[in-house]
Structure 1
Amino acid sequence: MENEVEIVLVEDNQNDVELTLRALKKNKISNNVVVLGDGEQALDYLYGRAEFEARNATSNPRLILLDLKLPKMDGLEVLKVIKSDPDKKMIPVVMLTSSKEESDVVKSYSLGVNSYIVKPVDFDNFVEAIRNIGFYWLLMNECAFKKD
């Protein structure tokens, strides 16, 4: 479907995955969410490699929710690849992490992250943060590319 929302969630903590999916569902923005568990898998998905070779790699997701601390390849490395690629750099990337370290925030923005959000501990606050992310990036923000 042309109006189908596609969110790529890159998160290795299963509790955070479930929490994010519940928050997306509660906010009615849970259509077509792809969950990936590490940075390497995220790039394989985006570029249609390995287990995702059948995927059309020219069809970009509408939004990437990216954790900072990931196995195999961390979120900053993934962000650097995405934002240095002319075909992928327009995808909005929201760093959704538990890190409040100023150096992580600065490095993320210097690499081109669109937003840096520290995961709230309280579920209601987390749901509200996800609602705001979804509302802005999926409804209000004008997309620079058309979805195939």
Structure 2
Amino acid sequence: MKLNILLVEDDELEAMKFNRALNKLGFSHTITRAKNGEEALNLAKDKKPNLILLDLNMPKMNGLEFLSILKSDDNHKFIPIIIFSTSNNQVDMLQAYKIGVAGYIVKPLDYKDYVEQIKRIIDYWTINELVIK
């Protein structure tokens, strides 16, 4: 199954790293990028992603605010969201899981580990029944 992935990441280098990892893995999933939570909300409604990769520390609307709004929307609350963040703050992690995040990965990872994490996440959600429309 080809995924429609929404990458919510304000850092250009991180977005390039993600795209490089996908290319290295040979994935041909559709990727849409938002640079902040406000933009991500609009794109989530328009593009209907079946997987969201989310940074926490962003301008305008941070990742936890975005997560809260999206998970309170009946049309979008079942979209799996994986957080990729530099924050290893236990409070952030606990809050994210309480709101309904599917996973939480702390950056930075070395590139090899990063690629392996991306592969695991995409492999898992590609075959998971919840993402089949």
Instruction: From the two aligned structures, give the one with the greater helix fraction.
Output: 2
**Is 1:60 aligned to residue 58 of structure 2?**
no
Q: Shift of residue 126 of structure 1? A: 0.6
Quick one: distance in 2 between partners of 1:106 and 1:23?
A: 28
Confirm or deny: 8 A CA contact 2:50 2:131 kept in the other structure.
no
**Is 1:87 aligned to residue 85 of structure 2?**
no
Partner of 2:39: 41
**Is 1:112 aligned to residue 100 of structure 2?**
yes
Quick one: distance in 1 between partners of 2:132 and 2:27?
A: 20
**Is 1:125 aligned to residue 123 of structure 2?**
no
CA RMSD of aligned residues (A): 1.5
Confirm or deny: 8 A CA contact 2:2 2:28 kept in the other structure.
no
Q: Shift of residue 144 of structure 1? A: 5.6
Give TM-score, length-normalised by structure 1. Answer: 0.84
Give TM-score, length-normalised by structure 2. Answer: 0.93
List structure 1 runs of 4+ shifted beyond 4 angstroms: none
Percent sequence identity over matched residues?
41
**How many residue pairs get matched?**
133
Confirm or deny: 8 A CA contact 1:21 1:30 kept in the other structure.
no
In structure 1, runs of 5+ residues without a counterpart are: 48-56
In structure 2, runs of 5+ residues without a counterpart are: none
Within the candidate set 84, 91, 100, 2:88 is matched to 100
Quick one: distance in 1 between partners of 2:76 and 2:32?
A: 17
Quick one: distance in 2 between partners of 1:19 and 1:27?
A: 12
